[in-house]
Amino acid sequence: MKNKQEWFDQKVADVSPEIMSEVQMSADIIEKIDLILKKKNMTQRDLAQKMGKSEAMVSRWITGFPNFTLRSLTQLSVALGEPLIKLA
């Protein structure tokens, strides 16, 4: 039996490039949300209130790997006062 690290490394190697890209993009967005919250001295609760969402919803967005929609990204950008994604 392989050790846990070898098993994990094999599972990661088996993930498609599309899934890896999606996970990385979600992580980048989550990191940006966290940075903006810190910069503006806001909490997840503040963001939830500003968006009219539950704290649980905002927490899921920030602590998991959510399937962001254009609508949710737009709502987050407006509530944070900064764009989360810039298209060239």
Report the pLDDT value the prediction gives residue 42, as an integer from 0 to 100.
96
Check if the beta carbon of residue 41 is closer than 8 Å to that of residue 80.
Answer: no
Residues 6+ apart with CB under 8 A from 54: 48
CA distance 2 to 8: 10
Catalogue all structural domains in the chain, each as residue range(s) with its CATH number: 18-80 (1.10.260.40)
pLDDT single digits (tens) 9-32: 888 788 888 988 888 888 899 999
Tokens at 77, concatenated: 């950008």
Check if the beta carbon of residue 81 is closer than 8 Å to that of residue 40.
Answer: yes
pLDDT single digits (tens) 52-79: 999 998 998 888 778 889 999 999 999 9
